[in-house]
Amino acid sequence: MKPLIRKLVEAYGPSGHEEHVREMIRAEIKGLADYVSVDPLGNLIAVIKKKSKSGKKVMLAAHMDEIGVMVTHIDSKGFVRIVPVGGVFLNTLVGGRVRFGNGAVGVVNAEDRRGNPASFDQVYVDVGATSADDCPVKVGDAAGFYRPYEELGGRLIAKSLDDRIGCAILIEVMHGLKRTPHEAQFVFTVQEEVGTRGAGPSAFGLEPDLALAVDVTGTGDTPKANRMAVKLGGGAAIKVRDAGMLSDPRLVALLEQRATEGRVPVQREVLEGGSTDARSIQVTRAGVPSGCVSIPCRHIHTPSEMVDMKDVQACVNLLVYTLERPIELD
């Protein structure tokens, strides 16, 4: 699974520019679904058809996009001004590198010599140009963080683990499913980082009976971290609440029951800030019972996010075990 994760996390794909990631995933899932399609927004949808009359339509969603920046202005010397695409923290930018869709790489710096910019107005990207005329990018071009994947034993460090790790988990679940009575709807969504925009329309078209987002969540196991009962290596996190949604209690109970039956390590998640695609799916059409299986992740929205492979495998095992068995929410 690690080679797949590395391939996905090192790919370029800021919100609104997920094409390359989508084609990589499409190649990885070839032959695993009954049909594969791309909807008008760019969501990649792979469906394994229902094998039982009592089966449910179960939507699993992981987003392909990553946070990034976009060019707003290029001055006469070729220095590039930017705005954020998604939740970019200023303190993670200075001294880092970004890569544009055409392959151009730039170094991020700030007018503040101490490297503590107060706003994006003080930040620029140096792409090595000598003038605006020889600048390799243009206004409106997007870039993502540029940082290599690394392994620290069983822990992985990379940019865009949020949420390429979720995409990798969905691919692994598709490989691992032996037989499911349900219609399993695997959706690799776009534009989650700018307002969970892709998931709602895809759910509207698929009309699932229930849905689970698969995304990263924060942890409470670092120095001075917010108090949170999630830690790296503690297992898959079953979301109860985040800032954008309340998980359906029936789904929380179902996932915990399946985890006990399958001996899958899990932990409960209550997240103070942030949300997932489940927020948009939940309020689609007349409403969709929704929840989230989360991957504990340190340093979210930085160029060096960190996950533990034990938690990743626990998420895969929990989803496979759940999909291979009956689901009743009444």
The pLDDT tens digits for 140-172 are 999 999 999 999 999 999 999 999 999 999 999
Helical axes 161-176 vs 19-28, angle rounded to 10°: 20
> pLDDT for 60-69, tens place per residue?
999 999 999 9
* Whole-number pLDDT of residue 200: 96
Task: Round to whole Å and give the CA distance between 279 and 212.
Answer: 10
Residue 99 contacts by C-beta under 8 Å, 6 or more apart in sequence? 12, 105, 106, 143, 144, 145, 146
Chain region(s) in the chain for CATH 3.40.630.10:
2-66+159-323
- Range 68-145: architecture per CATH: Beta Barrel (2.40)
Instruction: Find the catalytic residue in 192, 193, 269, 305.
Output: 192
Among 160, 174, 238, 144, which Cα is nearest to 1's? 174
Identify whether 192 is a catalytic site residue: yes
| CATH architecture, range 2-66+159-323 | 3-Layer(aba) Sandwich (3.40)
Residue range 117-126, pLDDT digits in tens = 778 888 999 9
Q: Where in the chain is the domain with CATH 2.40.30.40?
A: 68-145
User: Would you say residue 190 has pLDDT above 80?
Assistant: yes
Whole-prediction pTM? 0.95
207-262 pLDDT, tens digit per residue, is 999 999 999 999 999 998 888 999 999 999 999 999 999 999 999 999 999 999 99
